[in-house]
Amino acid sequence: MSGQTRTVRLPIAERVLEANDEIAAGVRVELARRSIFAIDLIGAPGSGKTALLETTLRALSGRRRPAVLVGDLATRRDGDRLARWCDRVIQISTGEGCHLEAGQVRLALGQVDLEGVDLLFIENVGNLICPVGFDLGQTAKVGLFSLTEGDDKAAKHPYLVTAADLLLLNKIDLAPYLSFDRAAFEADVHLLNPHVPILEVSATTGAGLEAWLAWLDRGVARARGASAT
Amino acid sequence: MRRVHEFSIAEALLAQVLRHAPTGAQVREVEIRVGALRGIEPEALQMSWEAVTHETAVAGCTLKMDLQPWTITCPECGRSWTSPIPFVDCTCGNTAPAPVGGDELDLVSMTVDEEET
Ligand SMILES: Nc1nc2c(ncn2[C@@H]2O[C@H](COP(=O)(O)OP(=O)(O)OP(=O)(O)O)[C@@H](O)[C@H]2O)c(=O)[nH]1
Ligand SMILES: [Mg+2]
Ligand SMILES: [Zn+2]
Ligand SMILES: [Zn+2]
């Protein structure tokens, strides 16, 4: 006999991004095993993610063995720019996708020689919203804002601000030409995330780079210490 | 349709719902809980859900969104309340009370029609 149906409510209680998070957890274990300090760099299109990485890689040459994964919607341009400073660069073409997912990172990591690598930069797709919710297995999330975007962008993107372990404020060299209220920006940030450090940098002039490099050094040292125990 | 931030969430949700749906059952409603930090636009997620479920086994299934508000706490006067937006003034005059939002994005339940046995 058929035709009789009953309606039942099935409790599930599971994260929607569970599948992504599980892959990310695997990536995190692998990176920790290799003592790699991995950064997920998130910022708006044109905020200077690639420019910052170019300057950083140049400064790190001979000091660190970095690898870079770079997500780009349609081109290979960012990967080509970065390959001038680092021979372990993998470009991830995301096509329509507005963020990187853990599966893409796992796949890309399989294509790069991680022997001796101590620092991994992942340039996420230029977007302040979408990438924040997708765990990639990184050790730290770095949010990049820039002066040209306006001082209200932290307030308008609370998820990135609260999820970030460090915020960078780029294009500080343009301060004389813009009416960016740094105190207001900082106040919004610290209302949302009272403890996150903010470092002002200029990817083009190199201003503020020492503090950023020192932060990276501490991260690398921590990653080493963690896997030694 | 335009690739909105909500679209990939709808795709992940669909895969999850199909994974959990008991064989032979018709899924009528899917209930999710969304923390304030996620910044989900309910209309955009609703439209994305309709688009991704179109012509699938769960086409026509309702998406119920339980959107969690921000919790605002004022350190000046000790008041605490909920708000749909994070930056608000307190009635005591403090223009910067602290907003706290959750980052949950959970499939809470599925309501299905099952064949009586
Ligand atoms: N004046 C100034 N310009 C900068 C700075 N950093 C980046 N730029 C410029 O900003 C533009 C965008 O920089 P990119 O590094 O391509 O930005 P991006 O964040 O990688 O962009 P997408 O990958 O497309 O999201 C370029 O023209 C850079 O030269 C800076 O510190 N100061
Ligand atoms: Mg770039
Ligand atoms: Zn996205
Ligand atoms: Zn108050």
Measured in angstroms, the CA of A164 and the nearest CA of chain B are apart by 13
CA distance B99 to B80: 10
| A32 belongs to a structural domain | yes
**A155, closest residue in chain B (CA to CA):** B87
Q: Is A167 helix (H, G, I), strand (E, B) or coil?
A: strand
Mean pLDDT of A2-13: 89
Mean pLDDT of A185-195: 97
Mean pLDDT of A80-106: 92
| A190 belongs to a structural domain | yes
| A130 belongs to a structural domain | yes
Mean pLDDT of B11-30: 95
What is the pLDDT, as a whole number, of residue A44? Answer: 97
Counting beta carbons within 10 angstroms of the beta carbon of residue A175, is it exposed (0 to 12), middle (13 to 18) or buried (19 or more)?
middle
What is the pLDDT, as a whole number, of residue A227? Answer: 67
What is the pLDDT, as a whole number, of residue A149? Answer: 97
Q: Which domain holds residue B45?
A: 2-113
Mean pLDDT of B32-52: 96
| A229 belongs to a structural domain | no
Question: A166 forms bridges with which residues in the sheet?
Answer: A142
Which residues of B touch chain A, with CB atoms under 8 Å apart? 3, 5, 8-9, 12-13, 15-16, 20, 22, 26, 28, 32, 37-39, 86-87, 96, 98-99, 101, 103-116
**pLDDT tier, B1 (very low <50, low <70, confident <90, very high otherwise):** very low
CB-ligand 1 contact for A202 (6 Å cutoff): yes
What is the pLDDT, as a whole number, of residue B4? Answer: 78
3-state DSSP helix/strand/coil % of chain A, to nearest 5: 40, 25, 35
ipTM: 0.91
Mean pLDDT of A97-124: 95
* Maximum separation of any 2 CA atoms in chain B, in Å: 63
Nearest to B39 among A9, A13, A159 (CB): A159
| A227 belongs to a structural domain | no
CB-ligand 1 contact for A169 (6 Å cutoff): no
Nearest to B116 among A4, A159, A162 (CB): A4
Structural domain count of chain B = 1
CB-ligand 1 contact for A43 (6 Å cutoff): yes
Q: Is the dihedral of CA A148, A154, A156, A162 positive or negative?
A: positive
Q: Which domain holds residue A66?
A: 12-221
Of A74-88, A118-132, A185-199, B48-62, give the lowest mean pLDDT range: A74-88
- CATH number at A145 reads 3.40.50.300
- CATH number at B28 reads 3.30.2320.50
Residue A57, pLDDT > 70, answer yes
**pLDDT tier, A6 (very low <50, low <70, confident <90, very high otherwise):** very high
What is the pLDDT, as a whole number, of residue A53? Answer: 98
CB-ligand 1 contact for A79 (6 Å cutoff): no
Name the average pLDDT for chain B.
94
Structural domain count of chain A = 1
Name the average pLDDT for chain A.
95
A vs B: CB pairs below 8 A: 104
Of A11-20, A79-88, A89-98, B8-17, give the lowest mean pLDDT range: A89-98
A44 CA distance to ligand 1 middle (Å): 10
| A70 belongs to a structural domain | yes
